[in-house]
Structure 1
Amino acid sequence: MRIIGLTGGIGSGKSTAATMLAEAGFPVIDADKLAREVVEPGMPALRELAEAFGEDILDGKGALRRSLLAERAFSSKENTERLNAITHPAIRRLQQQRIQEAADAGAHTVIYDMPLLIEQGLDEEMDLTVVVHTDRQLRIERLESARGISPQDAARRMDAQVDDETRLSKADVVLDNSGTLEELAQQVDRLVDKLKKS
């Protein structure tokens, strides 16, 4: 099983590239979806979070009150580390399960779509790291027009991620998304050809 890490900064178009790769027939495992799944009612990580951060992070139906957890978990470095110590292993187990499911279904290559792939050092575990890159100012403009995120908030979110230079230095393949959607699709098509031939 070959695992391709797909990453890119917020607003880079990584999700668009992931959709294109899925349409080309590759199983895509979305790390953000896994992160939401591990804290659904009934999941062990949710129980651990409630024990660590207070039962009131759960609503009356046992669902996570995300804003309250975020307020507490990001109030100190220690709390953030405690959050990560609970959620990261749970996400990792679910990731391995999804990879195994893809292998059992006959897949030879799986795409692991993860915004913080490099920040968490997981690029080292990938067979190939693909970075979707877009100029910072263009990302800010796209985030404002597509998601209604203010330029200041967009810049703050970008600054919380690894810088573009570091991200690009870790890339085996760079998809430049500074142009049109068609230009991105052409680059994805070339990547698909490369993956299918190797």
Structure 2
Amino acid sequence: MYEVSGEAGRHRAETGHHWWVQVVRGACAILFGILAVVWPLITLLTLVVLFGAYAIISGAFALFGAFRGAHPRQSRLWLAISGVLGIVAGLIAWVWPGITALALLILIAAYAVVIGVAEIVAAVARRKAGDTDWTYLASGVLAVAFGILLFVWPASGALALTWLIGLFAVLYGATLLVQAYRLRETAHRGTAGPAPHAV
């Protein structure tokens, strides 16, 4: 069990007040994933619209969390980059209605890798500031792994890819919800309380 005190504890407590931002991002990811899984005959256009909406909403709330949360400076920078890239990816999907399945696949894969790298860098910055929470790192690693999988497995059937995308979205969203729960606990304990258990 680790405890976070001093400046790092203040960062965690203040950031914890914005736990609901991660709830929104996680809920959107899970909703997108469930729709992709339970709607096996989803059309490409519908998938594009859903992905665009998810990326834009998630990006917008990531930006909000970066500028309103009390994250370490380097962490805020990378979270902001993550948010901007998410919005850009969503807009690209929306303004390119004739996108091909392969192009959409590459877009989603690139989005996952870049967002994942940004979250990993942000997690490292938080750890250097004394934060031992593992959920930031877990979500980043999951995103990078998913993006790489899409890049090296582009010839799969459309149904398998839709399920893969849906499964990733649900897992990623669940990680964000766990993150939100831990942040909420931190906010309730206050700056002097111990941080969540590190794994």
* Structure with max Cα Rg: 1
The structure where strand makes up a greater share of residues is: 1
The structure where helix makes up a greater share of residues is: 2
State the TM-score bracket (shorter-chain normalisation). Answer: 0.3 to 0.5
